[in-house]
Structure 1
């Protein structure tokens, strides 16, 4: 039994991240009729995982079946399922860039890549450095604008509020698609809310002083 053998690509589970431990990756076999076979494990039914072999054509079911899958489905222990990848037991050969041989797990590799992208979306909460720099520059520009042209600064802030609302809605929809836990979503929002509140309060104070002048 493979039991979701792929772990997050950032090594966060070793550091005790609760959200990371919720996401274990695996590949399920889907038959030609669209069903994913299951087997009994104690009193529960488990979906049958499939390992696409790299060394030769074909692969192995975690719980043996005579029929090869028609598709491989990237899956995560959180409940997420990716788009099925067509599977040909005799196909999938591609060259190994590090050695003069063929690898036979193109379908399995595609499924693992899809799960890795899911894990990145579900686990990573690191803001890219380039975006952090842009946000810092925007904040500096807004502070200067508030001191020089308060009405223009208020117009920019209104636009930012509208953008933040639509962006948050998109992020929450994507989070639901990736089965991110509410607790994990609440962690960054607490700090973000406080930061926005502090920045907004500072802006309002400066604008009030500028309008009185």
Structure 2
């Protein structure tokens, strides 16, 4: 999936916090993936289509080092990832088995994958950081994925951090974590979110000028009219 450039442009200056508010107003409360923290400070804000991977609990006859050579493996899934995607991995919140290490992350970076999001953890963390691949996760653990998980599928609906994610949903990540935007709502959310960011920037200017919160955040009719008048002047 390629995201409409107009949607990308509209979302480029929007935070995940704003997206959650916009989606809340549309009735979607469960869009922020729990446990998806930036692995290091200063990672870029990213927007991309979701490429999903799914693990289930470990089963000893399937979760073996030999499974890494199977046609159904994380290795095969990585080779199917398109450039620009954000890989979203359902690790069921397991934090004592690293889903990917430095070699797999290096391959993802080489293929142009935009970032990795998981409710689990990675391993070989120093090496992962060295690949430059932006990662949102719950931290690091030395054991391999097969120590606690069985890989079963890619590009299927998953649950990551308690949130339903479908292939090609739009995923946004920044310092506050990861948020999913359903495909069918993307254009509308982008337009509303961009306007919300502009309004909040104006409100912040008012606050810095000494204005009080009541009637300003959210704006009452008078303040909304002042904001709209100023916006028209700037166009």
Query: If the length of structure 1 is used for normalisation, what is the TM-score?
Result: 0.24
Whose helix proportion is higher, 1 or 2?
1
Whose strand proportion is higher, 1 or 2?
2
